[in-house]
Structures are given as C-alpha cells and as structure tokens.
A and B are shown apart, each in its own frame.
Chain A
C-alpha cells in the first residue's frame, strides 16, 4: 500500500526566505504527483502536477521536483511571502492501469507560516 510522508509537519520562516518542503512515497511506480495548497477552512488548490516522466515543474516562485527512483519530491518556494502561509499537501497517483488507479494517496501536509 502506498504511503506518503511529508516532513516537517510545520515550518515557520521569516518573509523573504527561500524554503523547501519535502514529500516521500513508498512505491515508486507512480503515474504522477501533485502539490496542493489548502488555506484554513478552505478547499484544495492545485499548485503543480508532475508526470512520472518529468523531473520538475515550475510555476512562478514555485518549483517542484520529482525523483521516482528514490521516492521523493520537493516543493521549493522562492522569496516567501506572508500570503504563502497555508498547508501544503503532496499526493501521488498510482501507476497501474484500471479504474482504481485514479485514486490519490495524500500526505498529511506541511503547515507553513511566513512571518512578516
């Protein structure tokens, strides 16, 4: 069974710092990996999607990398801002075929606080 772990569970940084959030998964046979952001009491907003054949994806100040062989992904946030404060979730989709393969397995998230 796929397990996804995010470390640290919480992180506090001063504004302007660059930071890295980590995600690890136990089964490297994934189809893709997706990073989400969740604000308190809100839904999930997709940040970046990395297909299994890709090594990284970038969107603005965000960069996500994927190393399937080692079962790891990182989300890099450059020049952090107070508005980046949220919980960041990593999720993987299994790599086998069939209807059930669309299921996502989530990590429990990293709660980020960016201090002005």
Chain B
C-alpha cells in the first residue's frame, strides 16, 4: 500500500446516515478506484476515476457517489448508508507497468 492511505480504517455508522471514505495517494497517479470486498462475492468495482473531476461507474455503483477535486484524493460517499453496504472498502491505483496497488482498506459496519 505504498503511497496510498485510506481513512478511516474502521467505522461504525447508523442506517440512513451519510458516510464518506477517503483515499489519499502521494504519487500523482491518474487512475484511482474504489472496490468493495464481501464474502462470497470477492472484490467488485464501485467507481473509478481517470483524472480530476473525471469519474465513472463500476459494477456495483448504486447507493454510492464519488468525487475527485484533486489528483491525490478520491472520496467515496454512501449517501444514505444501508446494512447491505457493510463491507470492507479498498482504494487502489494503477502504476504503468506495475498493475494495481491497493490500500489497506476501510472496514465499514452499518447498524
């Protein structure tokens, strides 16, 4: 997870509240991604960004929004958290020639 910091590392929130997860990178990579990992489903792409203010949806984007106002920060917002969004969320970047590098993850529990 060199150069990628996710915050918070753990969060418990109540159903219906908005939640924002942050991914910060220090290496000026253009592409950033948010994945969620769930037992039985593996890792699935939520949203990705290919530049400042350039984002697009992934496989499981419903209920999530993202923003990227600076190269180094990619924010994931759960607009109104539901129990089905309890998961581990991973941020990732792609390095040319090196494939993907993932952050350490945020464990989110919605109660």
Contact = CB atoms under 8 A, between A and B. Distances in A.
Interface of A: 32, 34, 36, 42-44, 46, 49, 89, 91, 93, 99-100, 102-104, 106-109
Given A43-B102, A43-B105, A103 B40 contact: no
A34 B94 contact: no
Given A42-B104, A44-B102, A89 B43 contact: yes
B85 to A, nearest CB: 19
A93 B98 CA distance: 12
A102 B99 contact: no
Given A42-B104, A108-B42, A109-B42, A34 B1 contact: no
Nearest to B99: A49
A106 B58 CA distance: 13
Contacts of A91: 43, 100
A107 B103 CA distance: 19
Given A34-B100, A46-B100, A89-B43, A103 B58 contact: yes
B74 interface: no
Interface of B: 1, 31, 33, 40-45, 48, 50, 54, 56, 58-59, 90, 94, 98-105
A104 B100 contact: yes
B41 to A, nearest CB: 8
Given A34-B100, A104-B45, A44 B90 contact: yes
B99 to A, nearest CB: 4
Contacts of B45: 103-104
B98 A49 contact: yes
A100 B99 contact: no
Contact of A43 (B54, B98, B104): B104
A103 B48 contact: yes
Contacts of B90: 43-44
A107 B58 CA distance: 17
A106 B1 contact: no
